[in-house]
Structure 1
Amino acid sequence: MLGPAALLVVALFAVVAGLVVGGGAAPLLIQDPGPAVRWGLPIAKLLVNVSAAGVIGSLVLAVWALSPEKREFDRALDLAAASAAVMTVAAAATGLFTFLDVTGEQLDAGEAFGMKLGQFLTAIPLGQAWLTTTLVAAAVTVLCFAVRNHTALVFVTLLAVASLVPLAQQGHAAGAAGHAAAVTALGLHLVFAAVWLGGLIAIVVLQPVLDDKRLPVVLARYSTVALIAFIVVAVSGYASAALRIGDWPQLLTPYGALVVVKVFALVGLGLLGAIWRRFIIGRMSQQVASGLDTRPPASGATRPAAPAVTRRPLWLIVIVELAFMGLASGAAAALARTATPVSEDAVGSLARTPAEILTGVPLPPWPEISRYFTEWNPDLLWLLACGFGIFFYLAGVRRLRRRGDTWPVYRTVLWVSGLLLLAWVTSGGINVYEQYLFSAHMFGHMLLTMAIPVLLVPGAPVTLAARAIHPRKDGSRGGREWILLAVHSKVASILANPIVAAVLFAGSLWVFYYSPLFRWTMLDHTGHVWMVAHFLITGYLFVQSLIGIDPVPYRLPYPFRLVLLLGTMAFHAFFGLAIMMGTGLLLADWYGAMGWGTDALVDQQLGGGIAWSIGEIPTVALAITVAVQWSRSDEKESKRRDRHADRTGDAELEEYNARLAAIAARDAQR
């Protein structure tokens, strides 16, 4: 286990050096918690980060790359369970150190200390975050021992990822002026760095049970995941650094110096990853194909000369890569204790108007129509999702065409257009003004739930994935297997039912706007992400039930599809009219308190008008598409019957005529 040892040694060295350079462990002038806390807290956070990586990376590898039929699968889950146990202890210690650091209390076993600690963990957001992380890590520990079902492990993996959400919502991100952008960037950075680092640790631990044929296969699958993680970590790291550093001269500050160290480590990791993909994996696969053993010979044994690349240089690269990851992890732990060049009190300095107090960001320019196309508030999560969605779709189309298969151009155009529109809605002018104007919010909502799905559904992504992704035959599950399993699952069959999809599409409007969910999405960025995903999915399911190309368990006959469409859209229009005619504000302490020079009630009524009227265009498009599909279906059925008649010589028609003649003859005899 030389690789993990190198990781920990380098990480500890980096965090100690980073604390010295950044002053994160310097004594405080007031309520100094003592050297044990000043040094122990960042080291405990480092252990949380590394152990979380061990959990998430091992689970992702088990779900994506490993076969439940082989020893590698159980070994990965054992590593995940052990890492989760370490994470539980480390998170509990971090919560205790954080309490001592914040309050200046001295550790003792008295009742008063216990009461203060309990109040911190249950009533203070920072304490609640560490308590939540500790409890989730403990639950994951138990589940990794108890669960061996391949499908159920997906939910265990999601729970492990959820343990990092409280960490993303704390730290420097919590105080940044661009709170939503900071939380998103930090969350993506934590999750994908954990997948990257943890997957490599798992590879090292699993290598004794991976034979010569199996190792290149698992390495290739991990390499694909690592490449995606590298891109996300690089982009999210840049976004986080830009928010906290500001100008280029700030790189000369202690915080900037630690960021430079992380950039250096990231560049080194990128180069090592390129060596992996370009040379190591390919050479090992060639060795296996040629029937040569890639293991080094036992002591005293003789073996024919093997190619230059064997397991030994591979593990040398892995050890160096883990050392770079340790450097990055240690620098990250030190950064959490180092003051940022951009003040975390920027929110308070911006709070000059009610709107700025509520949103915590400077007011954008007045919302003229052109501003919706020139102003930007990037949401990194959805930008990355759209980027990867376009890339993998085009890669699938390219694979089909390279092997001689066809794929309609209009599907590609519609899919790319839909994702570009989604990127604009979540990062363009609508995302800028929806916090201030209900009408902008409603316009974005209507595009998410109606316009974007009308573009995405005809793209038939499931059909493309089923045709383009290579099937696996070793018992593991890749993209094709997981997509088809999800599409044919019991849950999907219920959600894809046309009636259920219509109820979710129309009913969620009333539930969302007339329940605390609406407030949650305005006050919490996690709620905002949920809102976008929810309305996008419900709209997609409804449109899929009407004009979808991808396979579904049941489709309504075309006449009933038109009836369902008209009935649902009438219900939708009634919702818009209810808001347009309403005289009470839905979120009075938000939109009504902006004080931005607009009449909140008039703007809300405008939003109702948008909800009522904007649905007409997608409705007409859907109705026309259903009618065209109906017509083409009738044409196909007529052609099928004609071909059948040609093959059988009109046997059915002749039989029918003979039956009529027999009836006529019988009647004549009477």
Structure 2
Amino acid sequence: MSPTVLPGLPDAGSVTRWGLPAVTALRDASAAVTVGVLVLAAACVPGRLGSDGLSPTQELLRRAAVVGSVSWAASGSAVLLFAYSDAAGTVVGSARFWSEAWFFATQLEAGRPLLSGTMMAWTLALCCGALRRTSGLGFATLLALASLWPLALGGHSAGTLDHNVLVDLQLYHLLGVTVWTGGLVGLLFVRPRLGAALHTVAGRYSRIAGWCLVLVAGSGVAGALVRLPGLWAVESAYGALLAAKVVVLTVVGALGFWQRTRILRRIGEGGSGAFAMLVAVEVVLLLVGAGAGVALARTGIPGPTEDPSLDAAQVLLGRSLPPALGPGEWLTQWRPDLLWLPLATMVCVVYVGGVLKLRARGERWPAPRAVLWASGWFLVAWATAGAPGVYGPVIFSMHVVQHVTLAVIAPIMLVMAAPVTLALRAIEPRTDGSNGPREWIAEMLRSFVVVVASTPVVAAGVFIASFPLLYFTGVLRLSMESHTVHQLVAVQFLFVGLFFVGGLIGQDPHLHRTALHARLVLLVAALGLHGWFSATLLATDEVLAADWFGALQRPWGATLAEDQEIGALLGWVLGELPLVILAGFLVVQWISVRRHGRCRAEGRLAHPAPLSEVPSGAPQKPGDREASQQALLQRLEPDRRRDGIGQRHIRDEDRR
């Protein structure tokens, strides 16, 4: 009788053992090149939007992006196969390998990011191969940046308790590394084509690379701080190493900025070896930043002082249950959302910078708009990182509060702040043939997606349908367990609210300025259908996402059914009240505009044109009256447009 053998993990073979790290490195390098050259082509090199085709430099970068994206997609496909082979201990191509690999890619958490990332890379490759206009570079660049999200999901942070926080930090790290590295490769690639423009392009890339260094260093340090088990660990050897690396990165960044400034000056003066020096400095900074990030991720962390066993809430949420929700917790409970908090801070700083720039030029900007902008983004930050973000995955009612705040309340303040108008006034247009923020904002307003989404009927329809589609389908349950779906739902609600409210009361340049009475009709329809949704939610007997909320084993608060009723009532009040206020605002504006039109008409009757303006002895021809009416309309049109009336409404009112 042979002895019992306890088998270990099966061996996937030498092909997988050597192939997986090789194709992973190729995928990451290809992603960096693709993202970097697209950013360089869209924002740094000459090539005007609205032209018939790409400039020669942009065309060269497009071809590099095609090669990089195809390599990214192909190596990503190989990574998916090798990852399954390594996890299952199965040789690639063995019996039932393909069917089991497909199950791994579509059903398991470890495989889904690999599959979605590969599909996005193939889509990007097709997009880069098909684009022939500068405007397409913007879409391709956004798609390339979005394709980094699956890589962040599959990063080293995916297996930790603070999964969502560390995934967000990993995304920042990837953004910094890919734009920095790929931009440097693209700059080397197109240097012979730039000629005298090399100094300008290198300067713009250098500024982008400086921000990338901040992202790489900041994400590494923040990730290390998140991993610390407590404040006591700051005094440990790991904490000392973290502090030392922060100092090193700060010194290296300062030296790199000083050296880069001197090199750019020499490039502008025609120095022969200045460009090579710039590349050397960028490579050193890149290696130091990336090396510090890798070292921080791999340095041993002090062990936990608490019981490592996890309860149900920690398994599902990645954290412990928050305390019982009371009046004070609405303001005091915060948990940083590292996607929305940095975004809210950044856009507020940029807005204030635009206001200060206008004042420096002697132009005025209403202070209440800045207050509205800051208040709107505070509400966005509160909805995602404050009490709704903390309690939303725990109780249904706060989940409703979060989405109503993002879709209704915050967009009203953000739209009234007129950020697009401020940007178009504060940002100077570029004169060197490249495309900066101002050019891309103007192009965005003309894009097909924005044109369709900003159509009032479309915006109102999507706004009305968003709440039933989330709560009466399986999306609600999916958004609880998937960080990707959760963030996509938040983005969708915010943008839908911005387009809907912008079509009603927006002050920014808008492609579709509907008449006031039509806007009022759309708003009344939205009020009615949102009330129907709230009433249906209140009357339903089925508890939504009961398996998720019940599995948390919450020891405090109302029952699941009672909490759902509270959520329906909160959604009704918080959603209807701002819409009613908007309806009142539109009614007052409509009455004011009609009174303004009547006063103008009475003024024209009380003060007719002098007889000297009418040719004496000449009969008035039929076309003269139409010509005078047209001239009158042209004089009145700016005033009526400022009041928000469409051209068709102008003509109807003057005829009456």
**Shorter chain as normaliser: what TM range?**
0.7 to 0.9
Aligned to 2:334: 376
Alignment of 1:475-624 (within 5 A): 475-596=433-554, 597=556, 598-624=558-584
CA drift at 1:568: 1.7
C-alpha distance in 1 between matches for 2:480 and 2:612: 65
Aligned to 1:201: 185
Give aligned pairs, total. Answer: 603
* CA separation of 1:510 and 1:555: change in aligned 2, threshold 3 A: same
Aligned to 2:158: 174
Which amino acid in 2 is paired with 1:511?
Answer: L
The TM-score with structure 1 as length reference comes to: 0.79
Q: Does the CA contact (< 8 Å) of 1:582 and 1:605 recur in 2?
A: no
Aligned to 2:284: 323
> CA-to-partner distance for each residue in 1:307-365, whole Å, 9 max, x for gaps?
xxxxx24432431321332354456567777876568xx998222x4x44432321111
Aligned to 2:27: 48
1:161 and 2:145 equivalent? yes
CA drift at 1:124: 4.4
CA drift at 1:35: 9.2
Match among 49, 57, 79 for residue 72 of structure 1:
57
Q: Does the CA contact (< 8 Å) of 1:43 and 1:333 recur in 2?
A: no
Q: Does the CA contact (< 8 Å) of 2:333 and 2:386 recur in 1?
A: yes
CA drift at 1:381: 0.8
* CA separation of 1:646 and 1:326: change in aligned 2, threshold 3 A: farther
1:83 and 2:43 equivalent? no
Match among 367, 380, 387 for residue 345 of structure 2:
387
The TM-score with structure 2 as length reference comes to: 0.80
1:215 and 2:198 equivalent? yes
Aligned to 2:310: 350
C-alpha distance in 2 between matches for 1:417 and 1:398: 18
- Equivalent position SS for 1:614: helix
C-alpha distance in 2 between matches for 1:130 and 1:347: 33
Q: Does the CA contact (< 8 Å) of 2:454 and 2:503 recur in 1?
A: yes
Bigger mean CA offset, 633-642 vs 477-486: 633-642
Q: Does the CA contact (< 8 Å) of 1:472 and 1:478 recur in 2?
A: yes
Aligned to 2:226: 243
> CA-to-partner distance for each residue in 1:443-496, whole Å, 9 max, x for gaps?
122111111011111111111111111123444322112212221233323322
Q: Does the CA contact (< 8 Å) of 1:262 and 1:328 recur in 2?
A: no
Which amino acid in 2 is paired with 1:66?
Answer: V
Which amino acid in 1 is paired with 2:220?
Answer: G
C-alpha distance in 1 between matches for 2:409 and 2:336: 20
Q: Does the CA contact (< 8 Å) of 1:574 and 1:612 recur in 2?
A: no
C-alpha distance in 2 between matches for 1:188 and 1:495: 29
Aligned to 2:87: 102
* CA separation of 1:361 and 1:504: change in aligned 2, threshold 3 A: same
> CA-to-partner distance for each residue in 1:3-42, whole Å, 9 max, x for gaps?
xxxxxxxxxxxxxxxxxxxxxxxxxx96677999778755
- Equivalent position SS for 1:499: helix
- Equivalent position SS for 1:425: helix
C-alpha distance in 2 between matches for 1:452 and 1:523: 25
Which amino acid in 1 is paired with 2:195?
Answer: D
C-alpha distance in 1 between matches for 2:9 and 2:462: 55
C-alpha distance in 1 between matches for 2:296 and 2:23: 14
Aligned to 1:472: 430
Alignment of 1:615-634 (within 5 A): 615-630=575-590, 633=593
Q: Does the CA contact (< 8 Å) of 1:255 and 1:338 recur in 2?
A: yes
* CA separation of 1:95 and 1:253: change in aligned 2, threshold 3 A: farther
C-alpha distance in 2 between matches for 1:325 and 1:622: 51
Bigger mean CA offset, 568-577 vs 591-600: 591-600
C-alpha distance in 2 between matches for 1:261 and 1:251: 12
Aligned to 2:258: 275
Aligned to 1:126: 110
> CA-to-partner distance for each residue in 1:261-306, whole Å, 9 max, x for gaps?
9757744663255236754446655x4xxxxxx142xxxxxxxxxx
* CA separation of 1:497 and 1:240: change in aligned 2, threshold 3 A: same
Aligned to 2:631: none
> CA-to-partner distance for each residue in 1:580-635, whole Å, 9 max, x for gaps?
23222122212244331430111100111111112343134323433454466467
Which amino acid in 2 is paired with 1:200?
Answer: L
CA drift at 1:433: 0.5
C-alpha distance in 1 between matches for 2:549 and 2:534: 18
C-alpha distance in 1 between matches for 2:192 and 2:550: 64
User: Which residues of structure 1 form unaligned runs of 5+?
Assistant: 1-28, 288-293, 297-311, 660-670
Q: Does the CA contact (< 8 Å) of 2:266 and 2:274 recur in 1?
A: no
C-alpha distance in 2 between matches for 1:341 and 1:608: 45
1:62 and 2:62 equivalent? no
CA drift at 1:423: 1.2
CA drift at 1:175: 1.8
* CA separation of 1:325 and 1:262: change in aligned 2, threshold 3 A: farther
User: Which residues of structure 2 form unaligned runs of 5+?
Assistant: 1-7, 48-53, 620-656
> CA-to-partner distance for each residue in 1:89-129, whole Å, 9 max, x for gaps?
54455445544543455x67755777766665565443454
Which amino acid in 2 is paired with 1:72?
Answer: T
> CA-to-partner distance for each residue in 1:199-256, whole Å, 9 max, x for gaps?
12222222222222x1232233324433443444344333322233435786899998
Which amino acid in 2 is paired with 1:270?
Answer: G
C-alpha distance in 2 between matches for 1:545 and 1:87: 40
Which amino acid in 2 is paired with 1:467?
Answer: R
- Equivalent position SS for 1:349: coil
- Equivalent position SS for 2:494: helix
C-alpha distance in 1 between matches for 2:98 and 2:571: 53
Which amino acid in 2 is paired with 1:575?
Answer: F
* CA separation of 1:279 and 1:102: change in aligned 2, threshold 3 A: same
- Equivalent position SS for 2:544: coil
Q: Does the CA contact (< 8 Å) of 2:39 and 2:183 recur in 1?
A: yes
C-alpha distance in 1 between matches for 2:277 and 2:613: 77
Aligned to 1:409: 367
Q: Does the CA contact (< 8 Å) of 1:42 and 1:337 recur in 2?
A: no
CA drift at 1:63: 1.5
Q: Does the CA contact (< 8 Å) of 2:260 and 2:278 recur in 1?
A: no
Q: Does the CA contact (< 8 Å) of 2:216 and 2:290 recur in 1?
A: no
Which amino acid in 1 is paired with 2:577?
Answer: I
Work out which structure has the larger RCO, using CA pairs closer than 8 Å and 6 or more positions apart in sequence: 1
* CA separation of 1:217 and 1:367: change in aligned 2, threshold 3 A: same
Q: Percent identity?
A: 36
Which amino acid in 2 is paired with 1:607?
Answer: G
1:459 and 2:442 equivalent? no
Aligned to 1:302: none
Question: In angstroms, what is the RMSD of aligned CA positions?
Answer: 3.9
* CA separation of 1:75 and 1:647: change in aligned 2, threshold 3 A: farther
